[in-house]
Amino acid sequence: MTATLDCRICGGTLHEFFDFGRQPVADAFVDPDGGPEEFFHRLAVGMCTSCTMVQLLEDVPRERMFRTDYPYLSSLSSVMQDHFTSTAHRFLDTELRDPGDLLVEFGSNDGIMLDTIRRAGRRHLGVEPCDGVAEAAAAKGIRVRNAFFEEETAAAIAEADGPAKVIYAANTFSHISYIDSVFRGVDALLAPDGIFVFEDPYMADIIERTSFDQIYDEHFYFFTVRSVQAMAAHHGFELIDVEPLAVHGGEIRYTVARPGVRTPSPAVGRFLEREKAARITEPETLAQFGANVDKVRDDLRALLERCRAEGRTVVGYGATAKSATLTNYCGIGPDLVSFIVDSTPAKQGKLSPGSHIPVRAPEAFATPYPDYGLLFAWNHAEEIMRKESAFRAQGGQWILYVPGVHTVQ
């Protein structure tokens, strides 16, 4: 491990432990008829030896990642619909009991969570920088501010709407490299007894499952309970609760508050002990993770090359952002995977970033069925396999690569 940069959180020494090489912007799908030249960046991860925060060594300009045509829509997944509906009801039952209470969500996407808050008659505001998904939320009657959440934005919201009882972010907070400005914004906007709740991928799960495709340009930080506790304290807050979530391949929901306002849950201490016992951020653990990543790469390429040699057809399922890391690091292109099916209209008819595999509508998966389906959207495996039961019934096999390369008949 070689020293490189200073930690973005505490200024400590940052050491690189894995380099995925040149990678494209993960959600920047390519027009087959031409367009702007693709933007590539170095995708490498390091860990701070002081606060243990795992983070990217280089960030991509936010305007390149979160564009007007940003294609991801949370509401297209029934699993995520259920998750966000449940989350909204939980806030309504515990924190938003007064009709005057305000919930602010940043990175609110198409308003899948806020719609339940709106229907309950509670004050709400979404902060969403991507024009297209912000407009989709506004069309449902959801209040949306089309902006990035940072200190200036939060101060303007506080002046216009007053303090927020809850500030919430799902799969957003870890995307933001300028986290100090976000915390200053939370400080300016959060009510004295309010909570800031965020849920993001959990580094311990990534290591345990070798789910290295969770590492891409949008995911700048990779949280553990220890590093989040240190980050919160560094910015004048206290971590008071942690809760594991099954969505997106393993996440943690973190709750922070102003120091001394709420009693920390015993779950915080339990998770800290587990992480210490598992030696998550020890150099040996991170080195083994790197070796496991390369084994998945080699095994997956060998399987796909064998399929090609035998004349077997392979189609990708789910043109996910994380699949960009997998396909580009493993050298998987249209010679090994004929095309990818995805339910997002904005991705259909395009080529996948960097690897340039054609993306088609889901109906193409069955016309005719391939021999193998490479499940890029492995975090939705149960939902997808249930939907595509006819594929398995006629002899099709799924290829999965988390936690290792294997097939499911």
Give pLDDT tens digits for 150-185.
Answer: 999 999 999 999 999 999 999 999 999 999 999 999
Backbone angles phi, psi at 324, to 5 degrees: -65, -40
72-101 pLDDT, tens per residue? 566 667 778 899 999 999 999 999 999 999
Question: What is the reported pLDDT for 76?
Answer: 63
382: pLDDT strictly greater than 70 = yes
CB 326 within 8 A of CB 213: yes
124: pLDDT strictly greater than 80 = yes
The structure tokens 């995925």 sit at: 20
Residue 390 lies in a domain: yes
Spatial CA neighbour of 92 closest among 83, 101, 80: 101
Strand, helix or coil for residue 156 = helix
333-374 pLDDT, tens per residue? 999 999 999 999 989 999 999 999 999 999 999 999 999 999
Residue 22 lies in a domain: no
Q: Which residues contact 311 (CB under 8 A, 6 or more apart)?
A: none
The rounded percent of the chain whose pLDDT value lies above 90 is 85
Q: Compute the average pLDDT of residues 389-407.
A: 96
301: pLDDT strictly greater than 90 = yes
Query: Mean pLDDT in the chain?
Result: 93
Q: Compute the average pLDDT of residues 289-313.
A: 98
189-216 pLDDT, tens per residue? 999 999 999 999 999 999 999 999 999 9
Question: Using 50, 70 and 90 to split pLDDT, how confident is the model at 246?
Answer: confident
Spatial CA neighbour of 324 closest among 53, 71, 14: 71
403: pLDDT strictly greater than 80 = yes
Question: What is the reported pLDDT for 69?
Answer: 60
49-64 pLDDT, tens per residue? 999 999 999 988 877 7
CB 404 within 8 A of CB 99: no
User: Whole-prediction pTM value?
Assistant: 0.91
103: pLDDT strictly greater than 80 = yes
Residue 241 lies in a domain: no
Q: Compute the average pLDDT of residues 25-51.
A: 93
Residue 179 lies in a domain: no
Question: What is the reported pLDDT for 70?
Answer: 54
How many structural domains compose the chain?
Answer: 1
Backbone angles phi, psi at 360, to 5 degrees: -125, 170
Question: Using 50, 70 and 90 to split pLDDT, how confident is the model at 259?
Answer: very high
The domain of 347 spans 311-408
Distance between CA atoms of residues 360 and 317, nearest Å = 10
Residue 403 lies in a domain: yes
CATH number at residue 396: 3.40.50.720
Question: What is the reported pLDDT for 2?
Answer: 44
- Written as six digits, the tokens of 97 are 């009991």
Residue 321 lies in a domain: yes
- Written as six digits, the tokens of 104 are 């602010």
Residue 21 lies in a domain: no
Question: What is the reported pLDDT for 1?
Answer: 39
- Written as six digits, the tokens of 73 are 């829509």
Residue 341 lies in a domain: yes
